[in-house]
Structure 1
C-alpha cells in the first residue's frame, strides 16, 4: 500500500486547503516532516488514518473540525493511494455543525465517506457511506486501524509501547495486532467443558442416591396398600442394585396373583350380567303386550267417527275437482260486465270530441259522423274518422310551421338592428381612443429626450465610488494596524530578552547537572553487584557529589521554562510579522498620500453624483416603459377600429336579407288564413284534435276488449255445464254449497286423510303383533328381575375391587422396575463420567495457565509472535548498538500466580548477561523501541498475506540519541527505503534537518497552519 496524494480542508490545525504530494516526497525516499511544536505535524498522519479508517490515533471524532474556521465550514480529507497495480481515492468528512435556514440556529451534519477506483483515468464508484467504505478499505489493505498504526504509521506517544509495557499490557497490544481469538475460544471451550463435566459427575452421584430413595418410597407405599405384600427395607451397607432386584421379584409375584384374581372376577360378573339381561328383556315384552291391548280397545271405539270422516272426504274431493271451472266461469262473467261498461263510456267520449273539433275548425266536414245510436265501432267508421282527423291536423301543422318561421325571422331582424347601432357606437369610441393615444405617445417621447440630455453614467460613477470606499476602508485599517504593530514590537522585544535569560540559566544548570551525574550513579552502586554502565563488580574510584550540584528535575524544569519562553517569543514574532504584512498591504490598497479625511470627502461627493444619476435613469426607465405600453395600446386600438367597421358592414347586409324573408312569410300566412282558421286558433284546434285521437283510440281498444270478454264468458259456461253433467252433483248450486261449507269449517282434507290412514295402519299392526308367537307365548303374570339385578351388582363390585388392586400392583411394579433399570444404566456410566471430568479439569488448568509453567494457550501463541518480532528487531538492534544488545523473550516463570511468557529481557554482549529492558539508558531505549516497532511492522505484514507496505511514517523526536547513535538509527532507516519504500520522519531535532534535505514544513499562523513541500534548511 502506498499513499500518493493527500488533500485536507478545515481539519485539525489546518483551516485552508492543503495538498501533500507523496509521489514528490517518494523521489527522495527519506523525507522529514518538521515544524514547531503544536504546528500540526502529527495532524498530517492523523489525516491519513482518518481517510482510511474514519478514526485517528489520539483524537475523538468531535475534535477533527478545525477551530480556525467559521461554523458551517465542511471539513474534508481526501487520500489517493494504490494497492499493487490498483489505484483508489477515498474522501471523508467528519460530522460538523452547519448553519440552519433560521437565523442564529445550527444543525448537525453527519459523517460522509466515498471510495472510488481510478481505472485508466476513469473513476468507478466502489462504496459510499461510513461503514461501507471502512469495510471495503479493511478488505483491500487487510489491516485494522490498530494494526495500521503499528505497521505503517508509528504515532507519537506509542513508539516505546511494545518495549516498556507490562506483561499484561503487552498481551493486550499483541491481541490487537494478531488474531488469537481461535485459541482464546479453545481455552474457554475447555474451561466450559471441564465445568460441565464436573457438574455432570456431581449430578450423576445425586441422581443415583435419588433413585435408591425413590425405590424405597415406592416399596413403603406398596406395603401400606397391600398388607399381604412383605417387602423389606435396604440395610446401610447392602448393595442397592441387588436390593432393588429382590424388591422387583417380590412385587412381580404379587402382581401375577392379583391378575389371576381379576380374571376370575371378570368371568363371574359376565355370567351375572347375562342372566340380568334376559330377565329384563322378558319384562319389557310383557309390558308391551298390556299396552298394545289397551290401545286396540281405543282404536275400535274410534271406528264410527273415522267412517263418517271418510264419506265427507270423498264428497269434498269431488267438489274441489270442479272448483277451478266454477271460479273460471264467475271470473269471465265479471270481465264481460266490466268491458261492456268501458265501451259505453269511451263511445260517449268519442261523440263529444267530434263535436269540439267541428266547433273550432270551420273546414272540418259537416258530414262527419255524429255516432248517435252506435254502440261499437266497425271498420268503415274507423276509416272515416282517421281520414278526417289527418286532414285537419296536416292543415294545422302547416300553418303552425309558417307562424314559427315568421316569428324567428322577425326576432332576427330586431337583433340585427340592435347590432348595427352597437357597432356604430363601438367604431366611434375606438376612433376617439386612437386619437388620444397618438397625442399621449408624442408627449412621452419628448419628455424622454429631455431626461436623456441631462443623464450621466450611473455604472461608471458607482465603480469610482466603490473603489474609493475600498481605499477608505484600507486607510482606516492601516491606521489601526500601525498602532497595533508599535505595541507588538515592544512586546516582542521583551519576550526576546526573557527567552535569552531563560536559555542562559538552563544551559548553566544542565552543565552543572552533567558534572554531577557520575556522583549520582556512584551513590547507587553496591559492592559485589555489577555496574549498569561498565558491568564491573568492583568500584575503586566512585565519584563524590559537588557542593553546587544540580538535580535532574531542576535541570529539566529550567529546560521547560526556556522552551516555554522560546514558544512565547516565536508566537510573538509570528504575530508581529503578520501585522507588518497586513499593514503594508492596507497602505498599498489605500494609495500613496491618501488620508482618511480626504477619502471621506471624496466619497461623499461621489454619493451625491451617484444619487442624481440614479434618479434620472429610473425616470427614463419608467417613461420608456410607459411609452412602450401606450404604443402597444395604440396598435390594439387601431385593430379594434378596423374590426368594428367590418362588423358594422356585415350587420347591415344581413339585416336587408332577413327583412325580405319576413315580408314573404307574412304574405303566405295571410293566404292560408283566408278561409277563417288563423294563427290565433292553432292552439285550440290542435288541442281538440289531440282529444279526438285519444277518444278514438280508447273506443277502438274498448271494442276489441268487449268482443274478447264475451267470447271467453260463453266458453267458460259451456265447460262448467259439461263437467257437472258427468259428476255426482245435480247442478252448480249443489257444488257451491259443498265448497262453501268446507271453506267455512276451516278444516284441511289432508289432515282428514292422515287421521284415516293413521287409524287404519295402527289398528292393523296392533292386531298382527298380538296374534304373533312372541306375544302369545308370554305368561299372564308379570316376571320379576330383582334377584338377578342384586346378583349382577354384587359381581360388579367384586370385579372393581380386584381391578383396582391389580392396577395398583402393576403400576407399582412398572415404576419400581423403571427405577431399578435407570439406576443400573447410570451405574454403568458413572465411572466413565467421573474420569472424563477429572481429565478435562487437568487439561483446562494447563491450557489456561493455572498450572506450571503458567502459560495459557493464547499467551503461548502470542509468545511465538513476540519471539518472531524479536528476531526481526534484533537484525536492526545489533547493528545500531554495534553488536552489544539483542532482545529476547524471558523463559523463566513469573513470581506468584502471574502469567508468564511475554516478559522481555535484553542480552548485553559486554557482560554476557541478560537483564530487564527497563535498565537501558534513554538512547538505548530509543534504539530498542525503534527496532522493536519495526519488527512489529515486519511481523504483522508477514502474517497478513505478505502485504507489501511501501511507506512508513515515524512520529518521534529522536532527541534522546547522541550523534553516534543517531547516525546508526538513520543508517537503519535509510536501509528501509531499499526496494522503493518511502520513509517519513516527524521531528524537530536539528541534526535530522542537517541529514535530510527534503520534506514538508508545517508552519503555524493565527489563522491556521500551512504545509509546504520543499528543501529543508539546516538550523
Structure 2
C-alpha cells in the first residue's frame, strides 16, 4: 500500500479542509513531516490509519476525540485517502462518530460512523464496500494485513518502537506471540502436557482399580490371604490363585444347590400336609361360627312375621294418605281465607273512614263555594250600580228609577276576585272526585269481604264432610284413630327398604345353612392329622433349607465378586501395559517441548527464538551501519532465571570491548539507533513471513532529537537505503537539522485558530 492523496476536514487540530499530495514526495525516497510540538504531525498518521482500519495509530488517542475543537457546526469531520496497491488505485473515505451543535436550535446531535471504499479506474469509481465494518473487512482482505500487523510494518509510532528494545524477556515473548501468532505452539505444548498427564492419571487409575479388585477378593486360604496382604502385590500370582479359588467355589456351589433343591422338595411336601391340617382346623372353627350365626338368623326370622304385619299396616296408611292430605289442604285453605277476611275487614274499615272524611270535606267546600258565588254576584251588581243615573234605563231590568244604588256600591269591594272563585271551584271539584274514589274503594272492599266470607262458609261445610268420610276410612283400614294412623305411617321407600332387609336376612339364612352342610361334609370326609407335630417338622426342614440357601447365596456372592475381580484384573493389567507403552513416548515428547532439553526452551519459545534470531540478524545490518560497526545485537544463550524457560533476553555486543552487555547501558542516542534498527529488522522479518506482502510505505514518528549530528547522518543514510527501490519513508520530527538533510517536506503550521498543511519540495 502506498498513499497518493490524503484529505482531512475538521480533524484533530485542523479546523477546515486540509490535504497532502504524497505524489509530490515521489514514488520512493525519504520525506519529512515537520512542525511545532502539538501542531498535528502525528495526526497525519492517525488519519491514514483511520482511513484504512477505522483506528488511530497512537495508543493514547481515542476515537471520541477526533473531531476538531476549532470546527464550526457546518463542517463535516471526515478523512479521504487515495492509495495504490499492486498497480491498482483505491479511494477510501470515513467519518468517525462525533457530536456537533444542531444546525437549528440549541443542543447537539450525534453523527454516526460511516465509511466507503471504491475502486478507481481512470475517472470512474466502483463502490466495493459501504459501512465502517464492511470497509475494514475489505481493506484487511485487500492488503492481507490486520491493523496490528499494519502498525508493525508501516507505522513506527512515537515511543512505541523503543519499548521492544528495553522490554523484559516475558514482555518480548508476549509481543512476538501477538506478532507471529505462535499461540498454536503453546497450545500444542499444553496438549502434549495434558496428554502425558492424562496417560499418567489413567495408569494410576488402572493401578487403583487393580488394588480395589484385589481388596474385594474373599478367601479362607491362608496362603492366598498373605499374598493379598503383601505390600507390593504380585498380581500375576494373585490372578492364578484366584482362578483356582473360583474353580473350587463352582464345585461347592453345585453341591450346595443339589442339597438345597432336595430339602426344598421335602419342605414343599411337609408344608402341603401342614396346610391341609390347618385348613381342616380352620373349617371346623368356621363351622362353629356358622352354627352360631344360623341360630341368630333363625331368631330374627321368627320376628320377621310381626314386622311384615307392621309393614302391611304401613301400606294401608300409605293408601289412604291422599285423602288425609286433601283434608289437611282444605283446612289450610280455610285458615288462609280467614286470615284474608280479617285483613280485608281492616282495609274496609280504613276505606269507610276515608270516605266519610272525603264526604265531609266535599260538603264543606261546596258550602264555601256557594257563599263566594253569592258575594261575587253582589260585587257585579255593585259595579253596575256605579254606572246608574236617574232617568237612564238599568242595563239589567231597564228601569229608569234606581231606589237604593248606594247599598250595592258598598258590595263591590268585598275582597273576592274571579281567580278566587275559580280556585274554590277547582278545590270543590277535587274534593268531589276524592269522595267518589273513596266510595268506590269502600264498595270494592265490601264486595271482596262478602266473597271471602261466602268462600269460608263453603270451606267449613266441605271440611265437615271430609272429616266424616276420613273417620270412615280410618275404621275401614283398621286404624283405632288418627294417632294410630300417624304411628303406622312410613314412606314408600322405607317400606321397600324394610322388605329388602327381611328378604336379605332370609337369603342369608339359606346361604349359611348350605355352607354349613358343605363344611361338615368336607370335615367328615378329610384325613385328620396333628398340625402341631407337622408344624414342628416343617420348622426343622425350613431351618435346614434356609441354611443351605444362605450358604449357596454366600458362595454365589463370593463367586460373583471373584469373577468381577478376575475380569477387572485382567482388563486393567492389559490396559496398563498399553498405557505404559504410550506414556513412554508421550512423556519423552512432553518433557522435550516443556523445556527439559539442552536449550531449556519450551516449544513456543523455541519457535520464537528462531524469529528472534532472524530479527536480530536483520537489525544488525542497520545497527552496525548506524554505529560505525561498533554495536550488534545478540540473544542471551542462558536465561537469567532457568525456571522461566523463555530465552528472549537481549544483549548488545560492543566491538570495542568484545563483551556483551545489557541494552539498558546504551546512551539516549545509541538507544534510539538500536530501537530503530530493531524495529526495521522486525518489519523485514514480519514482511518475509506475511505471505510475500510488499510494504511500500513506512512512517517513523519522532526520536531523532536524541541524536548528535553524526548519528543523525548515519540514521538518515540507513533510512535512505531503506527507501531505495519503490518504498516511501516518512519521518515525523521537529529536529531542525533534519530539515537541512531532507529536501521533501510536509510542513504543519500551528496557530490559535487551528493548524494548516503545506508541502515543500526543493
Identify whether the pair has TM-score above 0.5, normalized to the shorter chain. Answer: yes
Partner of 1:564: none
Question: Distance between the aligned counterparts of 1:945 and 1:702, measured in 2?
Answer: 128
Give the Å deviation of 1:179.
Answer: 1.3
Q: 1:213: how far off?
A: 4.2
Q: Which residue in 2 is equivalent to 1:857?
A: 603
> What is the CA deviation profile of residues 719-754 of structure 1, one whole-angstrom value per residue up to 9, with x for unaligned ones?
9999998x7842798563432333699x96567545
2:718 corresponds to 1:972:
no
User: Deviations 1:974-997 (Å, cap 9, x if unpaired)?
Assistant: 43765xx57343241414344234
Query: Quick check: 2:78–2:93 contact (8 Å CA) kept in 1?
Result: no
Deviations 1:189-216 (A, max 9, x none): 111111222232244344434433442x
Asked whether the 8 Å contact 1:870–1:932 carries over to 2, the reply is yes
Report the CA distance between 1:933 and its aligned residue.
2.6
| Alignment match of 1:89 (pick from 77, 94, 98) | 94
Give how far 1:954 is off.
Answer: 0.4
Tell me the residue number matched to 1:150. Answer: 152
| Alignment partner of 1:188 is 2:190 | yes
Task: Measure the CA separation in 2 of the matches of 1:322 and 1:89.
Answer: 114
Match of 1:1000 in 2: 747
Kept in 2, the 8 Å contact 1:283–1:783? The answer is: no
Alignment of 1:647-726 (within 5 A): 678-681=425-428, 684=431, 687-688=434-435, 691=438
Is the contact made by 1:868 and 1:939 (CA closer than 8 Å) also made in structure 2? yes
Offset of residue 856 of structure 1: 4.1
Q: Distance in 1 between matches of 2:25 and 2:42?
A: 21
Give the equivalent residue in structure 2 for 1:990: 737
Alignment of 1:170-569 (within 5 A): 170-215=172-217, 218-220=218-220, 233-234=226-227, 239-336=237-334, 338-339=336-337, 342=340, 346=344, 348=348
The answer for the alignment partner of 1:767 in structure 2 is 513
Question: Is the 2:317–2:489 Cα contact (8 Å) retained in structure 1?
Answer: no
SS in 1 for 2:115: strand
Partner of 2:367: none
Q: How do 1:608-619 and structure 2 match up within 5 A?
A: none
CA-CA distance at 1:187 after TM superposition:
1.2
Give the Cα separation in 1 of the matches to 2:652 and 2:282: 118
Task: Report the TM-score, using the length of structure 2 for normalisation.
Answer: 0.68
Distance 1:709 1:135 in 2: 113
Distance 1:694 1:768, change over 3 A: farther
The answer for unaligned runs of 5 or more in structure 1 is 70-75, 95-111, 225-229, 364-665
Residue 62 to residue 274, structure 1, CA distance change in 2 (3 Å): same
Aligned to 1:524: none
Q: 1:90 to 1:242 in 2, by over 3 A?
A: farther
Taking structure 1 as the reference length, the TM-score comes to: 0.52
What is the CA distance between 1:157 and its match in structure 2? 3.5
1:314, CA displacement in angstroms?
Answer: 0.6
Does the 8 Å contact 1:328/1:716 carry over to 2? no
Q: Secondary structure at the match of 1:975?
A: coil
Change in CA separation of 1:841 and 1:738 when aligned onto 2, cut-off 3 Å: same
| Residue 249 of structure 1, CA deviation | 1.2
Q: Distance in 1 between matches of 2:597 and 2:583?
A: 17
What SS does the aligned partner of 1:851 have? Answer: coil
Q: Cα distance 1:212–1:316, how it changes in 2: closer, same or farther (>3 A)?
A: closer
Which secondary structure state, in structure 2, belongs to the residue aligned with residue 842 of structure 1? helix
Query: Is this contact kept in 2: 1:1000–1:1011, CA < 8 A?
Result: no
1:554-592 CA-to-partner distances (Å, cap 9, x unmatched) read xxxxxxxxxxxxxxxxxxxxxxxxxxxxxxxxxxxxxxx
Q: Aligned in 2, Cα 1:184/1:691: closer, same or farther, shift over 3 Å? A: farther
CA distance 1:289–1:200, change in 2 (3 Å): closer
Cα deviation, residue 19, structure 1 = 6.0
* Cα 1:753/1:821, change in 2 over 3 Å: same
CA distance in 2, matches of 1:966, 1:916: 22
* Structure 1 residue 821 displacement after superposition: 1.0
- Conservation of the 8 A alpha-carbon contact between 2:34 and 2:747: yes
Matched residue SS, 1:799? helix
Match in the other structure for 2:570: 824
Whether contact under 8 Å (1:354, 1:692) holds in the other structure is yes
Indicate if the aligned counterparts of 1:286 and 1:778 stay in contact, CA closer than 8 A: no
Residues 833-864 of structure 1, C-alpha deviation per residue, up to 9 Å, x if partnerless?
Answer: 11111101111233334324555432344356
> Contact 1:90–1:115 (CA<8 Å) still a contact in 2?
yes
Residue 414 of structure 1 is matched in structure 2 by none
Shift of 1:327: 1.4
Q: Which residue of 2 aligns with 1:28?
A: 25
User: What CA deviation, in whole Å up to 9, does each residue of 1:470-507 have, x standing for no partner?
Assistant: xxxxxxxxxxxxxxxxxxxxxxxxxxxxxxxxxxxxxx
SS at match of 1:983: strand
Gapped runs of 5+ residues in structure 2?
A: 70-75, 84-88, 100-109, 119-124, 365-416
Distance 1:788 1:854, change over 3 A: same
- In the alignment, the residues of structure 1 paired with residue 310 and residue 301 of structure 2 have an alpha-carbon distance, to the nearest angstrom, of 15
Deviation at 1:718, TM superposition (A): 8.9
Residue 707 of structure 1 deviates from its aligned partner by: 8.6
Structure that is richer in strand per residue: 2
Match of 2:557 in 1: 811
* Contact 2:33/2:747 (8 A) holds in 1: yes
1:803 Cα deviation from its structure 2 partner: 1.6
* Secondary structure of the corresponding residue to residue 289 of structure 1: helix
> Displacement of 1:162 after TM fit?
5.4
Displacement after TM superposition at 1:949 (Å):
6.7
Deviations 1:296-317 (A, max 9, x none): 3344444553322221221121
Q: Structure 1 694/816 Cα, relative in aligned 2: closer, same or farther at 3 Å?
A: farther
Residue 1013 (1) aligns with residue 757 (2)? yes
* Residues 1:841 and 2:587 are matched in the alignment: yes
1:88, 1:812 → 2: CA distance? 85
Post-superposition shift, 1:999?
1.8
Relative to 1, partners in 2 of residues 1:741 and 1:982: Cα closer, same or farther, differing over 3 Å?
Answer: same
2: CA distance, partners of 1:915 / 1:859:
22
Cα 1:91–1:780 shift into 2, 3 Å:
closer
Aligned 8 A contact 1:160 1:930 in 2: yes
Moved more, 856-865 or 830-839: 856-865
Partners of 2:342 and 2:638 in 1: how far apart?
143
**Counterpart secondary structure, 1:87:** strand
CA RMSD across the alignment: 5.9
Deviation string 1:128-186 (CA, Å, 9 cap, x unpaired) is: 9xxx9999998998766654542232123344555676765543322121211222111
Kept in 2: contact 1:151–1:940 (CA 8 A): yes
Distance 1:688 1:782 in 2: 114
Contact 1:88 1:115 in 2 (8 A): no
Q: Evaluate the alpha carbon distance shift between residue 360 and residue 190 of structure 1 in structure 2; reply closer, same or farther with a 3 A threshold.
A: same
| CA–CA distance in structure 2, aligned partners of residues 345 and 162 of structure 1 | 123
Retained in 1: the 8 A contact 2:80–2:92?
Answer: yes
